[in-house]
Structure 1
């Protein structure tokens, strides 16, 4: 009976791990196929917009 639960646990870990790994691979392939160079378009735009901001100085009370 202990062997059964050990095998069931190993199978569950394998299935969950394989599912997570397939999700990572699918995300990577979708970025490569459909993302192109526009993946960081919005991040780069907001960084360029914020580069001209000045730091706010805080006063100690």
Structure 2
């Protein structure tokens, strides 16, 4: 049987509604936490989850 783990929220540390297995690969996955109501963009590979930080948008000058 494959080893599985719950995806944890990076903000509050609570369990989300998603689980991943050892062979799961996520790219640009929108992870939503029902406890703190935040959404994060994450990547996962080999049960290692990393949060993707999106660059701030720059204001265009005229």
Q: Common fold, TM-score beyond 0.5?
A: no
TM-score by length of 1: 0.22
User: Greater relative contact order (Cα 8 A, min sep 6): structure 1 or 2?
Assistant: 2
TM-score by length of 2: 0.22
Considering fraction of residues, name the structure with more strand: 2
Structure number with larger C-alpha Rg: 1
